[in-house]
Structure 1
Amino acid sequence: MKVAMIAITEEGKKVAQELARSLKGSRVHFLSRRHSLKGMVKKIFNRYDGIIFIMALGIVIRVIAPYLKNKYVDPAVVVVDEIRRYAISALSGHEGGANRLAAQVASILGAEPVVTTASETKKRLIIGVGCRKGTTQEEILKAIGQALKEGECSIDGVRCVATIDLKGNEPGLKEACLALGIPLRTVPFDLIERFNGPYQRSALVKEKIGVEGVSEPCALLAGRRTKLIVPRVKRGRVCVAIAMED
């Protein structure tokens, strides 16, 4: 996917540069006060498969409006705020791939993906993952695949992958989520520590990282009204559990 990123502030430029390091085939366009955002959008709107704007959603809506045709030909548009809270699928979510691009952006930045298309809002599965330092993308993908198979679940029904915040920057995990096009959500350490819900507790995990579990509590805590449907599955250096939102 050929992607352009447009930033209009120094903070936005930093976000764009971070994304560019992970998104192959992407290009950063930084506009100083001397340049016209409208002019840039007019120039590149139909030259890219996707455009990521690092700025306010309202600005984006106004600037792209004159160039919109239909969901089958318009590029995917994702909007990200400068402080990396949200990655919003704003245009061509399903057909153009903005939903998947928003998920990828969210995984890279640790942001919350915002997707409103009906097919995405119906996704109810949350995959909890715990892994050792240095675990590879391939190991994690195989463990996720095994858990999905055991639960007779489809990857198409997965809304996000969740892990403890201590593992949020684990390269293999981020790469796995990027490959799947599924956002990675981190659960705060103290939230897991206080969690009294039913999950398999491990003294060994407690000794190593300070909480009694990762995959199961993360799967349960990352959604609303969740229930565990696939208890912890261990494969090598990875543990995976799956929860479903009610």
Structure 2
Amino acid sequence: MALWFGRSGNEVAIVSDSASSKDVSGMTDDSGKEGEKASAIIFIGSTGIAVRAIAPFIKHKSEDPAVLVIDEAGHFVISLLSGHLGGANELTEFISKLISAEPVITTASDIEGAFSVDVFAKENGFILSDFGKAKEVAAKVLRGEKLRIYSDISMENLLKRPGIGEAEMVSSKEIDKADIVISYRTKLLDYEEPVIRPFNAIGLRLTAKRVYVGIGARKGVSEEDVVKAYDNCLKSSGIEPSAVAALVSIDIKKNEQGILTFSYKREIPFITYSAEELRSVDGDFAASAFVQSVTGVSNVCERAAAYAASRNGREKVLVNKQIYGNVTLAVAVAM
């Protein structure tokens, strides 16, 4: 979405993502609401007008769209709002090159060439919810202090990331010292001492959205059965619900209404694969002659979870086939 201010400062042309346009007088409530739906807003005119226009509609850095300002002569492209999470800085660089203008980016981490935890989270699909702790991490990096990081998944290249400075990975025993904790769990699994204990980390939590829940079910399974099975499985295994990237199964289940309704209400993508695809994944899976006769594979839930994870990293099965009445579930993570 782009807003263009004429020389009088009173005329505004709104160009939406669908490329429709209309003239309005000033930034009205309607145009503000339209802007809330956009992923980016570009003002062509003065920064002052842009600031006054967007002020009533700014919510939080986790929700606000990217906001840019370009002067009428096209000399400067300014990243005004949501530089990292909204992508304004990246868009500013792109448009600047496109129109041969000077990019104006003022976020401290970009000026110093330092590691930005919110950019890192966005690039990896991690969920960042504590912005207060994110500021503490940013300040520590800018002061040149060492970062300590704990991760449940492979982060081999993180320490080589430009601008991260002196950093080290810590073990689960040292998680209390970690500045950043990357995990898909509600509880910490201590691999050195095979016990599960609650997280008590004081660092910034980044939820790794890398978990795939494989589902098998009897034909006509109810939404209620799916809800009970899913919630019980995640709770008992200590999996953070927001870490689930998708619910996965075999393609003959793609129209199973109980699963589709659950997926829609929970806003979890439901992805299905062919029997041939599920057979292609290696692993020691529980086998059922009945399931084989119906679906063409000896196991649906474990194979679906493992296959989905393998398409997004190195797969690791976290929960083997669990039976909950009419539903079977398994859980895998992309490491």
> What are the superposed Cα offsets for residues 100-157 of structure 1, whole Å, 9 maximum, x if unpaired?
xxxxxxxxxxxxxxx7553177222211111122212211111111211331222122
**Over aligned residues, Cα RMSD in angstroms?**
3.9
Give the secondary structure class of the aligned counterpart of 1:161: strand
- 8 Å contact from structure 1 (residues 46, 74) kept in 2: no
Does residue 118 in structure 1 map to residue 126 in structure 2?
A: yes
Counterpart for residue 167 of structure 1: 253
Q: Are the structure 2 counterparts of residues 72 and 151 from structure 1 closer, same or farther at C-alpha, using a change threshold of 3 Å?
A: same
> TM-score, length-normalised on structure 2?
0.43
Question: Following the alignment from structure 1 to structure 2, what is the Cα–Cα distance between the partners of residues 38 and 163?
Answer: 49
Where in structure 2 are there 5+ consecutive unaligned residues?
A: 1-17, 44-52, 66-81, 87-121, 129-206
Identity of aligned pairs, percent? 25
**Given the alignment, which residue of 185, 195, 217 partners 1:131?**
217
Partner residue in 1 for 2:21:
36
TM-superposed deviation, 1:245: 2.0
Question: Does 1:208 find its partner at 2:297?
Answer: no
Q: Distance in 2 between matches of 1:232 and 1:166?
A: 19
Aligned to 1:88: none
Aligned to 2:314: 225
What is the Cα deviation at residue 180 of structure 1?
2.0
Q: Does the 8 Å CA contact 1:128/1:241 hold for their aligned counterparts? A: yes
Please state whether the residue corresponding to 2:32 is helix, strand or coil.
coil
Aligned to 2:33: 47
Query: CA-to-partner distance for each residue in 1:187-226, whole Å, 9 max, x for gaps?
Result: 2221113333221111100111221111000000101211
Pair 209,157 (structure 1): closer, same or farther in 2 beyond 3 Å = same
Query: In structure 2, what is the equivalent of residue 245 of structure 1?
Result: 334
Bigger Rg over Cα: 2
Structure 2: distance between partners of 1:38 and 1:186: 45
Report whether the alignment pairs 1:195 with 2:281.
Answer: yes
TM-score normalised over the length of structure 1? 0.57
Q: In the alignment, which residue of structure 2 is the partner of 1:110? A: none
Q: What's the CA shift for 1:48?
A: 6.8
* Contact 1:127/1:240 (<8 A) preserved: yes
Report the equivalent of 1:72.
60
CA deviations 1:160-188 (Å, max 9, x no partner) are: 21111221222211221222222222222
The number of residues matched between the two structures is 175
Shift of 1:231: 0.8
Counterpart contact for 1:140–1:173, Cα < 8 Å: yes
Instruction: Report the Cα offset of residue 232 of structure 1.
Output: 0.7
2:268 aligned with 1:182: yes
| Structure with the largest fraction of helix | 1
Which letter does structure 1 place at the counterpart of 2:60?
Y
Contact 1:220 1:228 in 2 (8 A): yes
**Aligned counterparts of 2:127 and 2:233: Cα–Cα separation in 1:** 23
2 CA distance for matches of 1:68 and 1:165? 46
Deviations 1:21-44 (A, max 9, x none): xxxxxxxxxx7x9x53898xx885
Q: What is the DSSP-based 3-state SS (H/G/I as helix, E as strand, rest coil) of the residue aligned with 2:212? A: strand
Contact 2:32 2:54 in 1 (8 A): no
Q: Distance in 1 between matches of 2:36 and 2:248?
A: 26
Deviation at 1:75, TM superposition (A): 6.7
Partner of 2:237: 151
What stretches of structure 1 of length at least 5 have no aligned partner? 1-30, 54-59, 78-90, 96-114
Query: For the residues of structure 1 that align with 2:277 and 2:246, how far apart are their CA atoms?
Result: 18
Q: Is the 8 A contact 2:275 2:295 kept in 1?
A: no
**Counterpart of 1:185 in structure 2: which amino acid?**
I
